[in-house]
Chains A and B, each alone.
Chain A
Amino acid sequence: MREAIANRVKEAFPEISAEISVDERRIVTVRGECRSWEELVEVGHYIAHMEEVKNVVNEMTVAGMEIPHKDYTAFREAGEKKGVIDRKDVVIIGAGVSGCGIARELSKYNLSVVVVEMSDDVCTGASKANNGNIHPGHAAKPGTLKAKLNVLGNRMYDRWAEELNFRLDRCGAMGAICDPKMMSALEQAYQVAVANGVDGVELTDGPRALELVPELREYDGEIIASIWLPSMGLVEPYEVVVALAENAAKNGVSFRFNTTVADILTEDGQVKGVVTSEGIIEADYVINCAGVYADEMSAMAGDKSYTIHGRKGTIAILDKNRKPEFASLSSVLTGAEVQSSSRKNKESKGGGMCRTPEWNILLGPSATEVPDKEDNTTTPEDLDYAMATNSNDAAGYSDIIRIFAGVRPADYTEDFIIEMSPVTHGFINVGGIQSPGLAAAPAIAQMVEGILIDDCKERRIPVEKKKDFDPVNPKKVEFRHMTREEQDALIQKDPRYGRIICRCESITEGEILDAIHSPVTPGSIDAIKRRTRAGMGRCQGGFCQPRVLEILARELGKDKTEICQKDGDSRILYDSNRHVTPGGRER
Chain B
Amino acid sequence: MKKIRTDIAVIGGGPAGMAAALEAKRQGAGDVMIIERDVEPGGILQQCIHDGFGLHRFKKRMAGTEYAQVFIDEIEQTDIKVLTDTMVLEVTQEKTIYACNSRDGMLEIDAKAVILSMGCRERTASQVLLYGYRPAGVLTAGTVQRYINLEGYLPGTSAVILGSGDIGLIMARRMTLEHIEVKGVYEVMPNPGGLTRNIVQCLDDYHIPLHLSTSVTKIHGKKRIEGVTVAKLDENRKVIPGTEEYISCDLLVLAVGLIPENELSIQAGIELDPRTKGPVLDNRFMTSVPGIFAAGNVAVVFDLVDYVSQSGEIAARGAVDYINGKPMEELSYEETVPAGNINFIVPQRIVRGETADTTLFMRVKKPDKKVAMDCEENGTVIATKRYPFVAPPEMISCTVTVSGSGPLKVEMKEGSGNA
Interface flag for B134 (CB, 8 Å): yes
Q: Kindly identify, within residues 523 to 548 of chain A, every residue whose CB is under 8 Å from any CB belonging to chain B.
A: 538-540, 542-543, 545-546
The 10 A-B pairs with the shortest beta carbon distances in the complex, nearest first, are: A568-B223, A488-B106, A565-B136, A498-B102, A495-B102, A570-B136, A500-B87, A491-B105, A570-B223, A573-B153
B133 in the interface, Cβ–Cβ < 8 Å? Answer: yes
A495-B102, A538-B263 are known contacts; what are 17 more A-B pairs with Cβ within 8 Å? A321-B266, A401-B127, A484-B108, A487-B106, A488-B100, A491-B105, A542-B140, A542-B142, A543-B143, A564-B136, A568-B222, A570-B137, A572-B136, A573-B147, A573-B154, A573-B155, A575-B154
Q: Please name all residues of chain B whose beta carbon is closer than 8 Å to the beta carbon of A489 when the two chains form the complex.
A: 105
Contact with B along A499-512 (1 / 0, CB 8 A): 11001101000000
Looking at the assembled complex, report how far the CB atom of B97 sits from the nearest CB atom of chain A, in whole angstroms: 11
CB distance from A586 to the nearest CB of B (A): 12
Contacts of B89 in A (CB 8 A): 500, 506
Of B1, B140, B148, the contact of A485 (CB 8 Å cutoff): B1
**Interface: B50 (CB within 8 A):** no
Q: Taking the complex as formed, is B61 at the interface, i.e. its CB lies under 8 A from any CB of chain A?
A: no
B27 at the interface (CB under 8 A from A): no
A374 within 8 Å of B (CB atoms):
yes
> Which residues of chain A are near B139, meaning CB under 8 Å?
542, 545
> Are A491 and B102 in contact, CB atoms less than 8 angstroms apart?
yes
Assess whether B129 is interfacial by the CB under 8 Å rule. yes
User: Of all chain A residues, which has the CB nearest B98?
Assistant: A484
**Alpha-carbon separation in the docked complex, A567 to B87 (Å):** 32
Q: Is B131 an interface residue, CB under 8 A from the partner?
A: yes
- Interface pair A377/B133, CB less than 8 Å apart: yes
Can you give 28 A-B contacts (C-beta < 8 A)? A321-B263, A374-B222, A376-B133, A377-B132, A377-B133, A401-B127, A402-B126, A403-B131, A488-B2, A495-B103, A498-B104, A499-B101, A500-B100, A506-B87, A542-B121, A545-B143, A560-B151, A568-B222, A568-B223, A569-B224, A570-B223, A573-B155, A574-B154, A574-B157, A575-B153, A577-B152, A577-B179, A578-B178
Interface membership of chain A positions 392-407, coded 1 if the CB is closer than 8 angstroms to chain B and 0 otherwise: 0000011011111000
Per-residue 0/1 for A456-494: is the Cβ within 8 Å of any B Cβ (1 yes, 0 no)? 000000000000000000000000000011011101100
A378, B135: Cβ atoms closer than 8 Å: no
| Per-residue interface assignment for chain B, residues 112 to 139, with 1 indicating a CB less than 8 Å from any chain A CB and 0 otherwise | 0000000001101111010111111101
A383 contacts the other chain (CB 8 A): yes
Residues of B within 8 A of A87 (CB): none
Let me know if B266 and A571 touch, CB within 8 A. Answer: no
Q: Once the chains are docked, how many angstroms separate the CA of A585 from the CA of B199? A: 29
Task: Determine if A576 and B153 form an interchain contact, defined as CB atoms under 8 angstroms apart.
Answer: yes
Query: Is A379 on the interface with B (CB-CB < 8 A)?
Result: yes
B133 touches A496 (CB 8 A): no
Q: Which residues of B pack against A, CB within 8 Å?
A: 1-2, 37, 85, 87, 89, 98, 100-106, 108, 121-122, 124-127, 129, 131-137, 139-140, 142-143, 146-148, 151-157, 178-179, 218, 222-224, 263, 266
User: B100 to chain A: which residues have CB within 8 Å?
Assistant: 487-488, 491, 498, 500
Q: Complex: how many Å from CA A345 to CA B101?
A: 52
Separation of A570 and B139 alpha carbons in the complex (Å)? 13
| B161 CB to nearest chain A CB (Å) | 16
Q: Which residue of B lies closest to A550 (CB)?
A: B151
Tier of interface size on chain A: 35 or more
Please tell me if A584 contacts chain B, counting CB pairs below 8 Å.
no
Note all chain A residues with C-beta closer than 8 A to B124: 401, 539-540, 542
Query: How long is the Cα–Cα vector from A366 to B416 in the complex, in angstroms?
Result: 51
**Which A residues fall within an 8 A CB radius of B?**
321, 374, 376-380, 383, 397-398, 400-404, 484-485, 487-489, 491-492, 495-496, 498-500, 503-504, 506, 538-540, 542-543, 545-546, 560-561, 564-578, 587
Q: Are A577 and B108 in contact (CB under 8 A)?
A: no
Question: Contacts A546-B143, A564-B136, A572-B155 known; A539 to B105 CB distance under 8 Å?
Answer: no
CB proximity of B387 to chain A, nearest CB, Å:
31
Measured CB to CB, the closest approach of chain A to B120, in angstroms, equals: 10
CA distance A524 to B185 in the complex (A): 30
Kindly list chain A residues whose C-beta atoms are within 8 Å of the C-beta of B155.
572-574
Q: How far is the CA of A486 from the CA of B142 in the complex (A)?
A: 34
On whether A498 and B101 interact (CB within 8 A), knowing A377-B132, A488-B106, the answer reads yes
How distant is the Cα of A380 from the Cα of B133 in the complex, in angstroms?
A: 13
- The smallest C-beta distance from A539 to any residue of chain B, in angstroms, reads 5
* Residues of B close to A403: CB separation below 8 A: 126, 129, 131
When distances are taken between beta carbons in the complex, the residues of chain B under 8 Å from A491 are 100, 102, 105-106
Q: Measured between alpha carbons, how far is A560 from B89 in the docked complex, in Å?
A: 29
Q: How far apart sit A504 and B142, CA to CA, in the bound complex (Å)?
A: 16
